[in-house]
A and B are shown apart, each in its own frame.
Chain A
Amino acid sequence: MRSTILAGLCTAVLLSGAAYAQSGAPIKIANVAELSGGGATVGTNWKNGIDLAVEEINAKGGILGRKIEVSHADSQSNPGVARAQVQKALDAEPYVLLGPGYSGSVKVTAPLAAEAGIAQIMGGEAAELTQGGNKFLFRTSFGQQSSMPKVAKYVNDELKAKSVAVVWVNNDFGRGGRDVITKEFNRLGIKVAADLSTEAGQADFAADVSKIKAAAPDAVFIYVNEEESARILKELKRQGVTAPLIGETTLVGQKVIELAGDAANGARGHVGLTTDAPVEAIKAFRDRFVKKYNYVPDHNGLKGYLAIYMVKATTEKMGKVDSKAFADTLHGLTIKTAAEPNILMDVTFDQNGDIDRQGFLVEVVEGKQVVKQVLPKLN
């Protein structure tokens, strides 16, 4: 009798342990981002967005009753380091991989995640990233193939520009954007008066701006990273360039406005995500973020935040924590704010991992992003 009771107790303990391993253990997610180096602004915002979302979800009991545990690794904004960090992160068998934010780093790490069969939710925007048939890669923002045609159309229809100077950063992100926008300008009959390649981390833009002045374009399209955007905006103001300045999120983001000060006023751009969007859920997110971190996030903060809620919505859709089935479930999935309010805007993921969501055309007015047009979700 005593041995039967003992056996029963042992079985109960073992079963409860197994049950804990299945349902009570935290869900481990790995983040590899640009926490230092040229992309520190990108990576820090992305990380803070993730941490905020994780805190919120864990406070409400986690996903399917399991808490989330995120590890953060620094890619130093270097694709080589990013690859090593992603390999290390994958060796720990995470549920999902988050990051990096730089397209160049995504390009070299995506094959590793695909080989491991782990879904990678990243911040890169280069067009080519989702065009290579990788079934495990997902965007958190628009790719260049979605955003650049909208920018070119704005330059043509609203600015009525006949010639444009194109300034781009010589990396995967910049080159991808430059190729798409140049094609669009050519299609619309807009002449590229100056095609200026700049370097990542470049500090001095005096020569580049002198070339822009010499080309005397009707508008200047700027596609460089945030810190370089701030430096070139200051130099454009210093040299008195008055042509309209147009770009993408990296030209009109919060960090750029903070760094460039007055020089950012008048800059316009297409942004997929902005904390100044006329959307109540985004305004509430912004308030929560500012309360926690004491600064206004840029779009990367939103991207990091949304990445975690993508994980939550997809997992709840599956009804189980299954890293192998995750990517299949997210393909073709529409996440509606009605079901998951913190996804902030309705979003659909296609078979390539690209997203369809509403976007915005903004202008910096007196140090603030002002939304000029809301571009609706396509489907």
Chain B
Amino acid sequence: MSNLLDLIVAGLATGAIYALVAVGFTLLWQTSQTINFAQGEFVMLPAFLMLAVLHLGAPFWLAVLVGILLSALLLGLAFKMLLVDPMLRHGVLPLAIATMALAIGIKEAVKQFFSAEASPFPSIVPVGDVTILGRAISLQSLGVLAVAILAVVGLTALLNRTSLGHQMQAAAQNPTVARIIGVPVERMILLTFLINAVLVALASLLITPIYLAKFSSGEVLGQAAFIAAIVGGFNQVRGAIAGGLLIGVVDNLAAAYVSTQYRAAVPMVLLILMILFRPQGLLGRAEERTV
């Protein structure tokens, strides 16, 4: 039983990171029908940007700040203007394929310009345990959970409690009507891209101390977050959060109680079951489309 609790806490911590990445997925989909298959590489890259700044002799906090800013610039602004805008007018599928190409490009560029080897990455949370209800819980797990929850709560508050958030939702739900009532739709879409860039940079900051900075680490993350977004509900931020946490826990339990070899298959099975029996996802809403 205690083992099960450990597994759930560790799974929730990883799941919270998946949730951050999955939320970005859903935001991009809702506002611009962008399915970003490079989302995993988007999580991998900021860690290397931060490491590059660290190698220049900057303190860690400054490296984090510059890393997040550079991410916003590259993975938010440049991604939208140089890839999404030109490709989207040709349809969702060409854009999705373009993001796959981007994923390969980012991975190879990191391998070329940084290293093919893994690098250590400092943790924002100190190593150690705290005792809660008589159980030793890892500070790192709690720290990761806390930062991820804060980020998600902040984002939800922004979307639901502020005028800016309402405008973003309006732009996502019906851009034509939003334009008529004076919502700057293009600016709102750009804002979601920037938010996604900051979310992936945060995820990078949290996951890299555990997974190490490596050019290939985005593969696992991108897949997990994609499954999390679909399982939770691709059209709902809260669905992506639930999906992320669920996949984190399921993945850990599968590794412990099924087998390490088959652990990657278990979330996939969950994905298939969800598509078969609840295609809108756990918390998503059914969408009707005109054919």
**Chain A residues proximal to chain B, CB less than 8 Å:** 35-37, 40-41, 44, 170, 196-199, 201-204, 206-208, 210-211, 213-214, 227, 230-231, 234-235, 237-240, 255, 258-263
Contact = CB atoms under 8 A, between A and B. Distances in A.
Contact of B252 (A35, A207, A263): A207
The A interface, classified by DSSP as helix, strand, loop or mixed, is helix
A259 B255 CA distance: 24
Q: Which among A37, A44, A203, A231 has the highest number of chain B CB atoms within 10 Å? A: A203
B291 interface: no
B136 interface: yes
A196 B7 CA distance: 16
B260 A40 contact: no
Nearest to B11: A206
B65 interface: no
Contact of B211 (A35, A204, A207, A258): A204
Contacts of A208: 255, 260
B20 to A, nearest CB: 16
Given A204-B252, A207-B252, A207-B260, 16 more contacts: A36-B116, A197-B261, A203-B217, A203-B220, A206-B11, A207-B7, A207-B255, A208-B255, A210-B256, A211-B3, A227-B212, A237-B127, A239-B138, A258-B120, A259-B120, A261-B120
B31 interface: no
A37 B120 CA distance: 17
- Chain B's interface size range is 35 or more
B30 interface: no
B210 A210 contact: no
Contacts, number: 96
B257 to A, nearest CB: 9
Contacts of A41: 117-118
19 contacts: A35-B116, A40-B115, A41-B117, A44-B117, A198-B260, A199-B261, A203-B211, A203-B212, A204-B255, A207-B252, A207-B260, A207-B263, A208-B255, A210-B256, A227-B212, A231-B211, A234-B210, A239-B10, A239-B138
A207 B118 contact: no
A207 B214 contact: no
Contacts of A40: 115-118
A25 to B, nearest CB: 33
B256 A211 contact: yes
B251 interface: yes
A240 B10 contact: no
Contacts of B236: none
Interface string B129-160: 10000001010110000000000000000000
B210 A231 contact: yes
A238 B140 contact: yes
Contacts of A239: 6, 10, 138
Q: Which among B7, B10, B118 has the highest number of chain A CB atoms within 10 Å? A: B118
Contact of A206 (B10, B115, B129): B10
Q: Would you list the 5 A-B pairs with minimal beta carbon distance, nearest first?
A: A207-B255, A206-B10, A40-B116, A36-B116, A207-B256
Interface in B1-42: 3, 6-7, 10-11, 14
Contacts of B117: 40-41, 44, 255
Contacts of A259: 118-120, 212
Given A40-B116, A206-B10, A240 B260 contact: no
B108 to A, nearest CB: 9
Given A44-B116, A238-B140, A204 B127 contact: no
A237 B251 CA distance: 21
Nearest to B254: A207
A172 B227 CA distance: 31
Given A41-B118, A238-B138, A240-B136, A206 B252 contact: yes
B249 to A, nearest CB: 11
B15 to A, nearest CB: 11
Contacts of A44: 116-117
Contacts of B111: 36
Contacts of B10: 206-207, 210, 239
Given A170-B261, A204-B251, A238-B140, A230 B212 contact: yes
A210 B120 contact: no
